[in-house]
């Protein structure tokens, strides 16, 4: 069983995430390769694709959403993602227990106490009547049916428990920091096809193609599913096995290629909630524990970052017409120049006009 260095794991992740070099694959192919793109804020998946695809333009993703080839909905870890339509049909039923678990949390349970879950979902789907309705209107109608309860929370529970997709306007490029009013439609109505669930083994293979080599806990952290150890054990004969620098077992597809650990890694600006940072329980292959505290200050926040030599070296933000770079430690002149060049290339895509460079901020471990 081969032991892989931290650098080897870093280059493997970057290669599978298309961050060692931009690709000529189509946006639909890239979204499929990455399984899904986290998309709480509609703009961020556009930046993630820009970082991975030669000449990517906003219209390419917008058209996919409008043509119903890509959808936005709750998926992995009960969070909003963009996924290819066929992948959504296959993955959402498999991941439904994760969303149901979220719907049973205290936030929802307090509001729906005493209600029959199946009846609540059936009422929600009845009110949607197979069409598109705003969350606000769905909430209002549910509150009418269930006086004394918060309709917004009821609508959120219905959206977790039933596969609903967001209207394209919700997921397309828009104003930074502003979320459009979400409208939802039953997925099978929107797509014109039924759900067609895959197995957990299929999901594990897809995960490894995008994030491997990795451990069972990594798959679980990424997907939100639990108790995958027995399934991984059953797949043992078809997988390749490695160890990480701490001796933990890693699995991978038998035919997966590993890049040379000495492969150069270009500077890349990543969006908030980028796949590359969220695909593992142990994220040290791309971000140190100290930097993770700064980039992920709370469960609901993952700041935009930039990579230098394959690792998170700082964050960036848009402030008016300025793209502001904030390194966490001093950069050599050659890396600073490469970072500024990449930021300049991003300016027209995000509608900014200039780059500002903050002084490095020290990160202290607790």
**Predicted pLDDT of residue 130:** 83
Domain boundary among 157, 191, 225: 191
**CA–CA dist 144, 6 (Å, integer):** 56
Say whether both 66 and 163 belong to one domain. Answer: yes
**Predicted pLDDT of residue 252:** 98
Domain boundary among 156, 191, 226: 191
Mean pLDDT of the chain: 94
**CA–CA dist 176, 169 (Å, integer):** 14
Please state the separation of Cα 328 from the chain's center in Å. 24
Say whether both 73 and 160 belong to one domain. Answer: yes
**Predicted pLDDT of residue 363:** 44
What Rg, from alpha-carbon coordinates, does the chain have? 21
**Predicted pLDDT of residue 179:** 55
pTM of the predicted protein model: 0.94
Say whether both 161 and 284 belong to one domain. Answer: no
Q: What is the pLDDT of residues 182-193, one digit of tens each?
A: 899 999 999 999
Say whether both 174 and 275 belong to one domain. Answer: no
| In-domain check, residue 20 | no
Whether residue 364 is predicted with pLDDT greater than 60 in this model: the reply is no
Whether residue 366 is predicted with pLDDT greater than 70 in this model: the reply is no
90: alpha, beta or left, given left = phi > 0 and alpha = psi -120 to 50?
Answer: alpha
Say whether both 173 and 278 belong to one domain. Answer: no
Residue 223's closest CA among 268, 281, 168, 277?
Answer: 281
**Predicted pLDDT of residue 365:** 36
Q: What is the pLDDT of residues 252-266, one digit of tens each?
A: 999 999 999 999 999
Q: Supply 287's token pair.
A: 């971000």
**Better-predicted residue by pLDDT, 178 or 135:** 135
Count Cβ neighbours within 10 Å for each residue of 41-55 and write b for 16 or more, e otherwise: bbbbbbbbbbbbbee
**What is the domain range of residue 338?**
268-357
Say whether both 47 and 182 belong to one domain. Answer: yes
Residue with token string 């993952």: 302
Say whether both 275 and 153 belong to one domain. Answer: no
| In-domain check, residue 166 | yes
Q: What is the pLDDT of residues 7-49, one digit of tens each?
A: 999 999 999 999 999 999 999 999 999 999 999 889 999 999 9
Say whether both 163 and 45 belong to one domain. Answer: yes
Say whether both 45 and 148 belong to one domain. Answer: yes
| In-domain check, residue 7 | no
**If you average pLDDT over residues 53-73, what whole number do you get?**
97
| In-domain check, residue 216 | no
Say whether both 281 and 163 belong to one domain. Answer: no
| In-domain check, residue 317 | yes
**Predicted pLDDT of residue 1:** 83
Label residue 181 by pLDDT band (50, 70, 90).
Answer: confident
**Predicted pLDDT of residue 361:** 65
Whether residue 113 is predicted with pLDDT greater than 50 in this model: the reply is yes
Say whether both 173 and 273 belong to one domain. Answer: no
| Tally of domains in the chain | 2
Please state the separation of Cα 57 from the chain's center in Å. 20
Other Cβ atoms within 10 Å of 252 Cβ, number: 20
Q: What is the pLDDT of residues 286-312, one digit of tens each?
A: 999 999 999 998 767 899 999 999 999
Whether residue 362 is predicted with pLDDT greater than 80 in this model: the reply is no
Residues near 63 by beta carbon (within 8 Å), at least 6 away in sequence: none
**If you average pLDDT over residues 101-107, what whole number do you get?**
97
Other Cβ atoms within 10 Å of 337 Cβ, number: 12
**CA–CA dist 143, 89 (Å, integer):** 30
| In-domain check, residue 255 | no
| In-domain check, residue 349 | yes
Q: What is the pLDDT of residues 321-354, one digit of tens each?
A: 999 999 999 999 999 999 999 999 999 999 999 9
**Predicted pLDDT of residue 169:** 84
| In-domain check, residue 87 | yes
Residue 63's closest CA among 178, 174, 172?
Answer: 172
């Amino acid at each position: 069983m081969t032991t892989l260095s931290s650098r080897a794991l870093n280059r493997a992740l970057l290669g599978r995430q298309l961050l060692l070099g931009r690709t000529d694959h189509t946006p639909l192919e890239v979204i499929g390769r990455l399984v899904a793109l986290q998309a709480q804020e509609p703009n961020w998946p556009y930046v993630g694709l820009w970082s991975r695809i030669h000449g990517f333009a906003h219209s390419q993703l917008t058209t996919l959403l409008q043509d119903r080839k890509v959808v936005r909905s709750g998926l992995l870890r009960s969070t909003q993602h963009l996924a290819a339509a066929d992948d959504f049909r296959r993955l959402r039923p498999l991941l439904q227990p994760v969303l149901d678990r979220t719907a049973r949390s205290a936030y929802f349970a307090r509001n729906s106490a005493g209600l029959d879950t199946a009846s609540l979902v059936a009422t929600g789907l009845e009110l949607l009547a197979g069409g598109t309705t705003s969350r606000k209107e769905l909430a209002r109608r549910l509150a009418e049916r269930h006086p004394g309860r918060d309709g917004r929370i009821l609508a959120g529970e219905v959206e977790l428990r039933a596969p609903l997709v967001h209207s394209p306007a919700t997921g397309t490029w828009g104003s930074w920091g502003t979320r459009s009013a979400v409208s939802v439609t039953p997925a099978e109505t929107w797509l014109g096809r039924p759900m067609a669930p895959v197995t957990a083994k299929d999901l594990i293979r897809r995960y490894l193609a995008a994030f491997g080599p990795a451990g069972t806990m990594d798959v679980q952290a990424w997907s939100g599913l639990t108790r995958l150890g027995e399934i991984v054990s059953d797949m043992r004969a078809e997988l390749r096995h490695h160890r990480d620098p701490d001796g933990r077992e890693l699995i991978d597809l038998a035919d997966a290629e590993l890049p040379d650990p000495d492969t150069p890694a270009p500077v890349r600006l990543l969006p908030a909630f980028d796949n590359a940072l969220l695909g593992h329980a142990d994220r040290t292959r791309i971000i140190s524990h100290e930097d993770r505290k700064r980039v992920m200050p709370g469960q609901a926040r993952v700041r935009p970052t930039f990579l230098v030599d394959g690792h998170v070296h700082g964050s960036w933000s848009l402030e008016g017409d300025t793209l502001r770079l904030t390194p966490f430690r001093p950069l050599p002149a050659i890396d600073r120049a490469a970072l500024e060049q990449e930021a300049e290339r991003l300016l027209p895509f995000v509608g900014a006009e200039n780059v500002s460079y903050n002084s490095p901020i020290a990160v202290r471990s607790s």
